Structure 1
């Protein structure tokens, strides 16, 4: 393409973007949010004088423009990708607030950052080698998608790491709770003692459940909310045993000891499975590094003697 054609294509792109912005800003196409719908039916506060509001002025910040745009981009990405329940579940499992909109905004930020880096690389390729603009645009789009997917993968890994820490702490917490109950303390007092003397993710979850119970929720409901947040099978069975003991008054010490023993056996089984996986991965350096070197040391003296004899 000639420079004139390039300029024409750029001007046409700018014109189309302007027309799209005008169309999006029309009252017929503009979306009305919930606050604008409810606001006419609310009592309006009396307006203050402008002279009294002079001290309330604050300087303009870039975040005043970026935050609404980022929120719209995050909501658009959420409508395109879906999976809101999965994202909320993984946020809870990772120990974060279930703010799906905030996570979508983070994904958009990661995508824009990756697209910016790809744009710099694409500009260098275009100026140095004259690469195709279509291919470079596809590269930038793929970089944006890679940034979005990378943030999602990091959330899944954070949730998996926190679940492993909870499962590692679970046997000790269950045994401490069993000892407290056997010593004569009630279920609530035992939970408070364990949450107070323990440190870790599971202790924080117990502390949060007790805080919910203090603010008005019943203890079984708070414990069931804990099991929903973690989503782990042993924790769910542990909470079910606690709830049954609280509601029916059944002995809890033996149940907690049995659950702690089951958790330790599950941890041992997990270690054995992890060892089997590591054993297979350790065969790669043995086969491709150690074994060739061993064969070379075994064959080289004979090969050198044959060369000398010849």
Structure 2
């Protein structure tokens, strides 16, 4: 990298920082409508943080404190460009966390910035090694790093949802049979859910415990359980919640239904294992066909090939 190119990059970086500093300075910062209305709408003082659970500051809190307006603007731009708020909201609900779509967009901005920094580092190292800078390649690589970071966060959210649904399916038969045992012993469905969530752990027990918590806070238990079914894409869990709702509303027998659902989920798990075994068996043929078999043929034909070459000489 020549001195002129290095000076140009440093000057561009300094100019960008100066423009951002002037733009977000208090005299030039535009006042939002939310900030204007906040003193008149938020008449209730916020509760003391001493009454809440102590949580360690996460990445979102640190990013918002350091570069709040810039990151929020970037999140709004990404939301307008990418869209898909309904799909993101559905996956966040299926993940079972408290993250909002805005928090997810902020994390996408952070991931995109990290990808851009990684691409810029690769460009700098490549320019130093090559002794020059190809502006077009550097620009394309930086854009690829930015887009890769944005899409990588979306891909990771999908992987988190898939992993959580697998955990729910793995825990479902045990929880269903425990509920059936408690109902058979004479407890009501609500008491059985409370006992199972108190004695067991896991994602499904936490979901049912959260539904009971919402019911104790004033939400009808039927609506609280219906939210569990609405936030998942698993048919087995939706049928399980429907059976609970019918038993709570109409008083129908529940134990045999839960046992049948647990048996169905176990059979579906066995089918998935057989399908995974079949796919692994096909994947195992790839090294056999493309690595072991050519080496075996080579060892078998090599002595004859050497003999033919020696005889021809």
Q: TM-score, normalised by structure 2?
A: 0.80
| Matched residue, 1:265 | 267
| Matched residue SS, 2:231 | helix
Corresponding position: 1:103 with 2:104? yes
In structure 2, the CA distance between the partners of 1:12 and 1:234, relative to structure 1 (3 Å rule), is closer
| Matched residue, 1:35 | 35
RMSD: 3.5
Question: Larger radius of gyration, structure 1 or 2?
Answer: 1
Asked if the contact 2:180–2:259 (Cα under 8 Å) also holds between the matched residues in 1, the reply is yes
Asked if the contact 2:71–2:109 (Cα under 8 Å) also holds between the matched residues in 1, the reply is yes
- Mapping 1:223-238, distance limit 5 Å: 223-238=225-240
Asked if the contact 1:126–1:133 (Cα under 8 Å) also holds between the matched residues in 2, the reply is no
In structure 2, the CA distance between the partners of 1:309 and 1:198, relative to structure 1 (3 Å rule), is farther
Q: Distance in 2 between matches of 1:62 and 1:274?
A: 41
| Matched residue SS, 1:230 | coil
| Matched residue, 2:94 | 93
In structure 2, the CA distance between the partners of 1:32 and 1:87, relative to structure 1 (3 Å rule), is same
Alpha-carbon offset, residue 251 of structure 1: 0.6
Q: TM-score, normalised by structure 1?
A: 0.80
Q: Give CA-to-partner distance per residue, 1:137-196, whole Å, 9 cap, x none.
A: 222122111111111111110110111111111111111111111121111111112112
In structure 2, the CA distance between the partners of 1:79 and 1:28, relative to structure 1 (3 Å rule), is farther
Asked if the contact 1:175–1:260 (Cα under 8 Å) also holds between the matched residues in 2, the reply is yes
Q: Distance in 1 between matches of 2:197 and 2:16?
A: 60
Q: Distance in 1 between matches of 2:40 and 2:175?
A: 54
- Mapping 1:57-136, distance limit 5 Å: 64-127=65-128, 128-136=130-138
Residue of structure 1 aligned with 2:189, choices 151, 167, 187: 187
- Structure 1, unmatched stretches of 5+, are 46-60
Alpha-carbon offset, residue 95 of structure 1: 3.0
Asked if the contact 1:88–1:98 (Cα under 8 Å) also holds between the matched residues in 2, the reply is no
Alpha-carbon offset, residue 109 of structure 1: 0.8
Which has the higher mean CA deviation after the structures are superposed, 252-261 or 296-305? 296-305
Number of residue pairs matched by the alignment: 294
